[in-house]
Structure 1
Amino acid sequence: MTIGIIGSGNVGRALGQLFSHVGEQVIISHRHGVASLAPVIAEMRSTVEAGTVADAAKQDIVVLAVPFNALPELPTSVDPKTIIIDATNYYPSRDGDQPALAAHQVTSSELVAKHFGTKKVVKAFNTIAMTKIRSLAKPSQPAGRIAIPIAGDDNAAKQTVTTLIKRIGFDVVDLGSLSDSYPAQADGPLFLFAGDADQVRAQVQH
C-alpha cells in the first residue's frame, strides 16, 4: 500500500512521519514543486519521497492535508480504488462564508467526496493537534490509546483507514457516514479533543 500526501505543512509532515515510522511508502507533495520539498524530505525517513500533486493523487491512499479552500485546485479524477483521507477543516474566516456548511446542511467531507466523484472518502486526522500527534501515538501499546474519530460512506475504505490508524498507534471511533461527521468539524465537540474511545463517544453527546 502506498500513501500520497497532498500538503507539506504541519499536517502533511506529521502524518508522513507517522506513516513512514511503521514502514509505509509515502509520497509527499505540494503545489510549489518537487525541488522545494528538499527540506521537508530531509526531516523524514527513507520511506518518504517528494512528488508532484499528480504523483500523490495516484497512490492507494491519498491524504488531503491542505486548507479547505484549496479543494478546487486539486485533481478531480482519481482511480476508483483510491481511498481519500480528508484531514481538512473548514474555517469561514479563511475559507470564505459557505452558508450550507455553517447551517450544517452539508458536511465539508461531503463536498470533498463530490469534488472527487467518489464514495471512498474517509474523514480522519482533522480533530487532533498536529503539534501533539506524534507524542500521542502508541504503536507498541494497544491499551490506553487516544482515539481518532472517522466517518465515511464506504465501509471497506473505513476499514482500511482504521487498520492504518491502529498501526500508527491510535484507536478509532466510527461516527458513521460523511453526513454524520459534524462532531469532527472545526465547530464540533471533537475538534482539538484528545481522549480514549469512551471519552470521544461521550464528548459527541455534549
Structure 2
Amino acid sequence: MKIGIIGAGQIGGTLTRMLSGLGHEVRVANSRDPETLAELAAETGATAVWAADAATHADVVIVSIPQKNVPDLDAGIVAKAKPGAPVIETNNYYPQQRDGRIAAIEDGTPESVWVAEQLGSPVVKVFNGIWWKHLLERGVPAGTAGRIALPIAGEDGPGKQLVFELVDQLGFDPVDGGTLEESWRQQPGTPVYGKDYGVEDTKKALAEAPRERPEDFRAA
C-alpha cells in the first residue's frame, strides 16, 4: 500500500521503519524541509516529502504530531489521499507537559474528535498508548502467546477494517475501541493507556475507563 505519514517523531518514525520493512511504499514528512529526514529515508527506503505532499494518493494516512500543532497543518492536507483512505491519528493531549490548554478538549470533546474537526476528516485512533520501543520491538505473529493488543476507535466500515489489518500486520492484536466519540477510553490516564495488555485485558480496561479526565491530564 501507499502510506503517507505526517510526523517523524518517536511513533511516526517507528511506523516509518516498520511499514517500510513490511514492503509498503511510505512517504514521510515533518514540519521542516524533507532534507532533514534524509537519514531516516536512507535507513528505511521511505521517501521524504513536504508535509503538504505526504497524503497524496495514499491508501492510508497517519498523523503523528503534537496535539497543539494539529491546527497548524495546511487545510485539506489529508484530503489528497485516495477516496475512502483511513486517516490514523496517534496523538495525545498533554496540557501540562507540552500542549497548553485546548479549550474544547477541556470542555469534554474527546481528543480524537477534536483532531478530526481540525483536519476536516474522520480519523481512526490507534498507536497512541503504546511505548514506541515496544511498538518497534514487540510485534509478533498472530497466535503468539503474550501478543500485545491495541485498541482502535473510529467509525465502522472498510477504513477501520483496513486499520485492523494493518495493526495485525505490524504484529499486534487489534481490539475494537468503539466509535471515535468513545475514544476517550484510551486517552492518557485511562486504565488501558501505556499498558501492554492482551485482548481480554484490553477490553476490560476500555470498559472500566472513567469518563472524567485525570487531574494530571487536565490544564492546570
Q: Which one of 123, 126, 131 corresponds to residue 125 of structure 2? A: 123
Task: Confirm or deny: 8 A CA contact 1:152 1:176 kept in the other structure.
Answer: yes
In structure 2, what is the equivalent of residue 195 of structure 1? Answer: 197
Provide runs of 4+ in structure 1 moved above 6 Å.
Answer: none
In structure 2, what is the equivalent of residue 57 of structure 1? Answer: 55
The alpha-carbon deviation at position 101 of structure 1 amounts to 2.0
The alpha-carbon deviation at position 33 of structure 1 amounts to 0.9
Task: Confirm or deny: 8 A CA contact 2:84 2:159 kept in the other structure.
Answer: no
The alpha-carbon deviation at position 141 of structure 1 amounts to 4.3
- CA distance in 2 between counterparts of 1:133 and 1:38 reads 23
Task: Confirm or deny: 8 A CA contact 2:142 2:173 kept in the other structure.
Answer: no
CA RMSD of aligned residues (A): 1.6
In structure 1, what is the equivalent of residue 218 of structure 2? Answer: none
Q: Which deviates more from structure 2 when the two are superposed, residues 90-99 or residues 30-39?
A: 90-99
Q: Which one of 66, 73, 81 corresponds to residue 84 of structure 2? A: 81
Residues 4-51 of structure 1, C-alpha deviation per residue, up to 9 Å, x if partnerless? 11111111111111111211111111111111111222332x3x1111
- CA distance in 2 between counterparts of 1:170 and 1:201 reads 14
Give the unaligned 5+ runs of structure 1.
none
Report the TM-score when normalising by structure 2.
0.85
Secondary structure at 1:18 match in 2: helix
The alpha-carbon deviation at position 99 of structure 1 amounts to 4.4
Identical positions, percent: 34
The alpha-carbon deviation at position 155 of structure 1 amounts to 2.1
- CA distance in 2 between counterparts of 1:156 and 1:115 reads 23
How many residues were matched structurally?
201
Q: Please show how residues 169-180 of structure 1 align to structure 2 within 5 Å.
A: 169-180=171-182
In structure 2, what is the equivalent of residue 114 of structure 1? Answer: 117
The alpha-carbon deviation at position 125 of structure 1 amounts to 0.4
Give the unaligned 5+ runs of structure 2.
210-220
Task: Confirm or deny: 8 A CA contact 1:57 1:75 kept in the other structure.
Answer: no
In structure 1, what is the equivalent of residue 215 of structure 2? Answer: none
Task: Confirm or deny: 8 A CA contact 2:124 2:154 kept in the other structure.
Answer: yes
